[in-house]
């Protein structure tokens, strides 16, 4: 229960998150340091477009792309070997390197429901004010170092978000009660 491929499905794809997949994330910044799980060894000096990502035992070929910047210079990006897209980060899986899109990974925030996003926004606003988290937690006092104008803006945003969440609560309660009744009926049938 709760394995890597568990969870709801959308359009036939599992909702995997980057925190659920046992892979090593390698970015250019990480690849430059020899003490990280994978590091980069350039083939032909600094101007190389190919490199080897190695952990000392395994070696994975990596293609890099130089992207010119508007004010001069360039930025290096890793190229995903599966889709050939330019990426900042690749993941090391048993089959080799791949980007988040090729592995069908999702960020945790992409799996949140509307209610969870609303609660997360409320908690973030309450954290800015130094208050306890939770939409039903009591309000605290104005932080001493915060200006009155900023305090009022954050408090108004918090109040609007809380009112919206409480307004949606009227929709959730009947659904919750129906779910409880269904579970009770199933339990009675099993007994």
Q: In Å, how far from its chain's centre is CA 52? A: 28
Residue 11 has pLDDT above 50, yes or no: no
Q: What integer is the mean pLDDT of 64-75?
A: 84
Q: How far apart are CA 167 and CA 170, in angstroms?
A: 6
Q: What pLDDT digit, counting tens, does each position of 161-174 carry?
A: 999 988 877 777 88
Among the three residues 61, 86, 106, which one is the final residue of a domain in this structure? 106
Contacts by 171-179 with C-beta closer than 8 Å and gap 24+?
A: 172/115
Give the domain extent around 118: 112-190
Q: How far apart are CA 165 and CA 142, in angstroms?
A: 23
Q: What pLDDT digit, counting tens, does each position of 107-119 carry?
A: 777 788 888 889 9
Q: At what angle do helices 114-129 and 148-190 cross, to 10 degrees?
A: 140
The count of domains in the chain is: 2
- Count Cβ neighbours within 10 Å for each residue of 17-48 and write b for 16 or more, e otherwise: eeebeebeebebebbeeeebebbbeeeeeeee
Domain annotation covers residue 1: no
CB–CB of 67/75 below 8 Å?
yes
Same domain flag for 64 and 139 = no
Same domain flag for 124 and 101 = no
Q: What are phi and psi of 163, to 5 degrees?
A: -65, -40
Q: What is the mean pLDDT of the chain?
A: 75
Same domain flag for 80 and 15 = yes
Domain annotation covers residue 4: no
Among the three residues 76, 106, 136, which one is the final residue of a domain in this structure? 106
Handedness of CA 118, 123, 129, 132 (dihedral sign): positive
Same domain flag for 27 and 44 = yes
The residues, any chain, with a CB within 8 Å of residue 54's CB and separated by 6 or more, are: 38, 39, 40, 41, 60
Same domain flag for 135 and 96 = no
Q: DSSP character for 142?
A: P
Domain annotation covers residue 3: no
pTM for the full predicted model: 0.51
């Amino acid at each position: 229960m709760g394995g890597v491929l568990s969870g709801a499905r959308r359009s036939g794809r599992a909702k995997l998150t980057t925190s659920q997949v046992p892979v090593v994330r390698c970015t250019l910044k990480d690849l430059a340091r020899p003490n990280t799980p994978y590091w980069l060894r350039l083939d032909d000096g600094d101007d190389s477009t190919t490199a080897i990502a190695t952990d000392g035992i395994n070696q994975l070929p990596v293609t890099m792309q130089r992207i010119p910047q508007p004010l001069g210079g360039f930025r290096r990006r890793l190229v995903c070997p599966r889709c050939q897209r330019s990426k900042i980060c690749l993941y090391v899986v048993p089959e080799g390197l791949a980007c988040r899109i090729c592995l069908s990974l999702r960020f945790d925030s992409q799996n949140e429901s509307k209610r969870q996003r609303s609660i997360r926004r409320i908690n973030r606003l309450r954290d800015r004010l130094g208050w306890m988290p939770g939409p039903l937690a009591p309000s605290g006092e104005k932080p001493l170092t915060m200006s009155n104008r900023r305090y009022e803006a954050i408090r108004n945003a918090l109040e609007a978000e809380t009112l919206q969440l409480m307004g949606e609560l009227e929709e959730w309660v009947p659904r919750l009660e129906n779910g409880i009744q269904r579970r009770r009926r199933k339990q009675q049938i099993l007994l």
